[in-house]
Structure 1
Amino acid sequence: MLIEHFQTLAQYNTLANGRLYKVCSQLSDVERKQTRPAFFKSIHGTLNHIMLGDCIWMGRFTGQQMPSQGLDAILYDNFEDLCAARVLEDERIEVFIRNLDADFLQGKIIYKNNQGKIHNDSVSLLLAHFFNHQTHHRGQIHDMLTQTEITPPVLDMHRVIAP
């Protein structure tokens, strides 16, 4: 049952990102990178942060640690490159989640966070955090979009997954 829940979250993640990026593509590069009252300073910065977080967590889940960077790192300055990377990362997430098994979900992962602190957490908790992190920051982007002329997309899970 938990595996199916994470598969639903992975599907939602892909669809919500698709909607969000489609709307963000209507903004000029200047508007996407405009400094706004947000932790990662801009829509573009926050999109990059979500990508960075996904890469870090997927590395931890698959045993391939990503070198530590600042959490505000800009992985892709070019929006089209970021879009292409997002599609590939969402595909990678869906494949990974589709292949989850109960033994992995019952396990723990030992990892070092960006502050150098070692943690040993349950996989099921980390997967829940993984999807919550994405949703949290998409909400911040949604808010920043309300500060533009572009209408933010509907991102409610029951409206995104159910046609």
Structure 2
Amino acid sequence: MTAPLLLAQACNNRWSNHRLLTACASLSAAALRAPQPAAFFGSLWALLGHLLDVDLFYLDALHHQPRPYRDHAWPDLATLSEAQAASDLRLMTLCRDLDPARLAQTLTLPRASGPVREQAGRVLQHLFVHQLHHRGQAHALLLASGVAPPQLDEFFLAQDEPLRRAELALLGIDEEELWGIAP
């Protein structure tokens, strides 16, 4: 686990969340909140809120400010999207500044059953896997809602660089910084 690879994962996380939430914007508030039998947490809206709430829980711990997990009452998609973007940027900054000693640090996570100690590198990897897991579910729920889901299974292949250049520039992601070379 290297800092450059973790930064690339954080940037890919930002890009994927942006694509997912942009696609969700084509749904009405009622459609986002509509119960869906296959939905984890009951609806696409609840799933999106869970994704962000878990990000905040782990990011707080990774910044040595652990707080108990809480479900936020996100009022609308614009507010949730703004908070997700801020969370994603916070994760990118954390990964940009990582060193091996920080990855090896022990964190305390405040769980309902009591404090749990975890290695920072494992928490960070868990955060990425959690995002991937639930974004896949959100992808399927979008399709079930009649919305063409966005492409989310890309990871910065050189051959696709011209297709993503403008979108990554909009998000402030510099591939030359990520890879140390021009794409």
Structure 2 length as normaliser, TM-score?
0.80
The aligned residue for residue 10 of structure 2 is 10
**SS class of match (2:151):** coil
What is the 5 A alignment of 1:14-29? Answer: 14-29=14-29
Could you tell me how far 1:143 is from its partner in structure 2?
Answer: 1.0
Cα distance between partner residues in 2 of 1:159 and 1:151: 22
Quote the sequence identity (%).
27
The 10-residue stretch of structure 1 (11-20 or 103-112) with the greater mean CA deviation from structure 2: 103-112
The aligned residue for residue 53 of structure 2 is 52
Cα distance between partner residues in 2 of 1:138 and 1:84: 17
The 10-residue stretch of structure 1 (80-89 or 50-59) with the greater mean CA deviation from structure 2: 80-89
CA contact (8 A) 1:154 1:160 kept: no
Cα distance between partner residues in 2 of 1:93 and 1:160: 22
CA contact (8 A) 1:55 1:66 kept: no
Q: Give the count of matched residue pairs.
A: 159
CA pair 6-122 structure 1, distance change in 2 beyond 3 A? same
CA pair 159-145 structure 1, distance change in 2 beyond 3 A? farther
Rg comparison, structure with higher value: 2
Instruction: Determine if the alignment matches structure 1 residue 118 to structure 2 residue 118.
Output: no
CA contact (8 A) 2:66 2:110 kept: no
The aligned residue for residue 145 of structure 1 is 142
CA contact (8 A) 2:3 2:98 kept: yes
Could you tell me how far 1:74 is from its partner in structure 2?
Answer: 4.0
CA contact (8 A) 1:33 1:44 kept: yes
Instruction: Determine if the alignment matches structure 1 residue 76 to structure 2 residue 77.
Output: no
The aligned residue for residue 157 of structure 1 is 154
CA contact (8 A) 1:111 1:118 kept: yes
Could you tell me how far 1:12 is from its partner in structure 2?
Answer: 0.4
**Structure 2: runs of 5 or more not aligned:** 162-183
CA contact (8 A) 1:16 1:160 kept: no
**Structure 1: runs of 5 or more not aligned:** none
The aligned residue for residue 107 of structure 2 is 109
CA contact (8 A) 1:52 1:75 kept: no
**SS class of match (1:109):** strand
Could you tell me how far 1:65 is from its partner in structure 2?
Answer: 2.0
Could you tell me how far 1:160 is from its partner in structure 2?
Answer: 8.2
CA contact (8 A) 1:33 1:45 kept: yes
Which residue identity does 2:106 align to in structure 1? Answer: K
CA contact (8 A) 1:106 1:122 kept: yes
Structure 1 counterpart of 2:127, from 105, 126, 130: 130
Q: Which runs of 4+ in 1 moved over 6 A?
A: none
Structure 2 counterpart of 1:100, from 93, 98, 101: 98
**SS class of match (1:119):** strand
Instruction: Determine if the alignment matches structure 1 residue 39 to structure 2 residue 64.
Output: no
The 10-residue stretch of structure 1 (117-126 or 145-154) with the greater mean CA deviation from structure 2: 117-126
